[in-house]
Structure 1
């Protein structure tokens, strides 16, 4: 079913702590940077405008004060929810350009309102490099909403954010699917205890992006529809360092593209938000261009086929060019050339050279078991339900790598290769965020 896309800017920084005492996060510039690469024209999308955020000013916030900017985030979430709701009421498909991950509160509020209106529940597919599940029950203090958004939208935390309009939770735990977190995510056991199903990177890679999207559909089979949250730090920092908290062990652009296409290829996907891209770390705009290419191709199922040909199923795109510290192109490492494998084969990663960065498999044994929930029937939002997919086997703990990927080895938590060898790209320059600095992900 083809739907017109409406692009809405949500350029908020309110959920992040300042990079320095005299600066503000750069994520507010992301919508403009992506629009500069003709995102709207390539999607043939309607411009749904911009929700201007309140002033960013942490003031004298201190640990123990609760979530920083809480009142401002609450007001912004109400305005964002209203605009998203109006887009859906027009029969359009909202694409929200953040901003930091606190935009999820506005989206979640809009989804809860919609679920109430149609008499069903709305689910969430949370595609993120981090679980963002810090809350007063598992941390000494909270502060940055962008590191707490999943906890807040599932009803954990202070009521002025987690219970707007008396709605709590916006998403039930059983209606949330988490994809792309790192195998050793700090809160992975908390997610498991809550009944939130996850597919960390090793499991996602073992099953493939296309099958993972189908699996996510199945987990939310008893929901009336679902919203998709994408934090670009789900990508490996070797190909996407322009985020506030880069963390090694992520996925490739090719995998994100296949995953997004699979998630939106159903009328039950209600919209998508994109967060945490920071143009301050992208001086020549090449990372923004690659994000736009991925989003346009990934959203192809939503738009007319002749408008946006699927990029992955045709020619192999050029690999992103790594940069030195001055932002000028570095000498790209060589890698095998040749046609891009078919989407299903590439999603299975039978050919590691198809990736744009070295495969760091993590420990597949750490992948959480992924149980399939029973389906009690999907509610209707006025569009026909898609044909039920062929059943897939339940993915349990992974004990071996798929063909073509070397067995995992013990690795240091951080430490890029000293130089790029065949098939590798150099790690990002020192001007990009430090992968060991989790300050924005963990504190205000």
Structure 2
């Protein structure tokens, strides 16, 4: 078993202000998880932290993206840290932050080889800037890391695409809107909505993904988990709430298959906002579920 390193990327650079003058609270996610014992239960070899540049809610004039220059600076620093861990055969267990933290991880993966991305999210995050009302990279992360969009963000360190589009699996979306979904339907990525996931079966979908990783002889895969993939009744403390979502039984089944694979080289968790979970009830439930599934899967790794 590889040594686990908890890595904290407490960034909110990819989100708009929830109210004028107020920063998104998701930057407190790592500290909130630690308060609710995730670090203690996982018992990592070490915990590393990289704080982001200052949030300013300003759109870049060249790209119309929020905090673009800060995101690029941060992604470079993140990539250096993640690359170092992967080179030493450590397992990065990353705590965001919003979904824009994917940029740094994806750059590191490109530097190491050819990887797949399993993007488990209640939204596709595969959106062109022209469809974005906010300019936040959090809603475009999967698209940007596969080379779509302004090269200022898609081609950092001249590494575009960080993840090949055909190696992206976007799973769990439940924002059923043709204009929104057509962005990924018209790509070469694999798109499995929540409806499709339930119809095809969790086991069948994860088996197909893991088989593809093997058949393509990829170096491994990365797991992105946005907590808003969970049912809104059990995970309401997110920035973009949508009815329905995975139950914990479904979520634990799906992640257990992925956690058990030796091809999984790291993961990241994003979007839970402590400001929206003042009692910690939803955070505690999430920590209990994911740590139990992860630790059990590591013992049963195949």
1:122 aligns with 2:149: no
1:202 aligns with 2:195: yes
- 204-213 or 17-26, which deviates more: 204-213
- 32-41 or 121-130, which deviates more: 32-41
Match of 2:220 among 214, 218, 225: 225
What does residue range 140-155 of structure 1 map to in structure 2 within 5 Å? Answer: 143-155=135-147
Deviation at 1:189, TM superposition (A): 2.0
2:164 is matched with which residue? 172
Q: Matches of 1:199 and 1:11 in 2, distance apart?
A: 29
CA deviation profile, 1:173-201 (whole Å, cap 9, x unmatched):
11011110116144322212112111111
Report the 3-state secondary structure (helix = DSSP H, G, I; strand = E; otherwise coil) of the residue aligned with 1:303.
helix
Report the 3-state secondary structure (helix = DSSP H, G, I; strand = E; otherwise coil) of the residue aligned with 1:204.
helix
TM-score normalized by the length of structure 1: 0.64
Match of 2:93 among 92, 95, 117: 95
Verify the 8 A CA contact 2:228 2:235 in the aligned structure 1: yes
Cα RMSD over matched residues? 2.0
Match of 2:204 among 211, 228, 240: 211
Deviation at 1:249, TM superposition (A): 2.3
Deviation at 1:46, TM superposition (A): 2.4
Report the 3-state secondary structure (helix = DSSP H, G, I; strand = E; otherwise coil) of the residue aligned with 1:228.
strand
Report the 3-state secondary structure (helix = DSSP H, G, I; strand = E; otherwise coil) of the residue aligned with 1:244.
coil
Q: Residues 190, 282 of structure 1: CA spacing in aligned structure 2 closer, same or farther, 3 A cutoff?
A: same
Q: Matches of 1:168 and 1:176 in 2, distance apart?
A: 14
Match of 1:77 among 58, 75, 78: 75
What does residue range 26-65 of structure 1 map to in structure 2 within 5 Å? Answer: 26-59=25-58, 61=59
2:271 is matched with which residue? 276
Verify the 8 A CA contact 1:100 1:146 in the aligned structure 2: yes
Q: Residues 62, 71 of structure 1: CA spacing in aligned structure 2 closer, same or farther, 3 A cutoff?
A: closer
Deviation at 1:304, TM superposition (A): 4.0
Q: Matches of 1:216 and 1:163 in 2, distance apart?
A: 26
Q: Matches of 2:173 and 2:149 in 1, distance apart?
A: 21
Verify the 8 A CA contact 2:197 2:205 in the aligned structure 1: yes
2:9 is matched with which residue? 10
Q: Matches of 2:143 and 2:128 in 1, distance apart?
A: 6
CA deviation profile, 1:3-24 (whole Å, cap 9, x unmatched):
2211000100000000111211
CA deviation profile, 1:274-316 (whole Å, cap 9, x unmatched):
00000101111111111111221231255346xxxxxxxxxxx
Match of 1:106 among 104, 113, 120: 104
The size of the alignment, in residue pairs, is 299
Q: Which has the higher helix share?
A: 2
Q: Over alpha carbons, which structure has the higher Rg?
A: 1
CA deviation profile, 1:207-241 (whole Å, cap 9, x unmatched):
33333222221233312211000101111211110
Report the 3-state secondary structure (helix = DSSP H, G, I; strand = E; otherwise coil) of the residue aligned with 1:103.
helix
Which residues of structure 2 form unaligned runs of 5+?
A: none
Verify the 8 A CA contact 2:145 2:161 in the aligned structure 1: yes
1:266 is matched with which residue? 261
Q: Residues 242, 216 of structure 1: CA spacing in aligned structure 2 closer, same or farther, 3 A cutoff?
A: same
Report the 3-state secondary structure (helix = DSSP H, G, I; strand = E; otherwise coil) of the residue aligned with 1:226.
strand
Verify the 8 A CA contact 1:15 1:68 in the aligned structure 2: yes
Which residues of structure 1 form unaligned runs of 5+?
A: 116-120, 306-384, 387-444
1:133 aligns with 2:126: yes
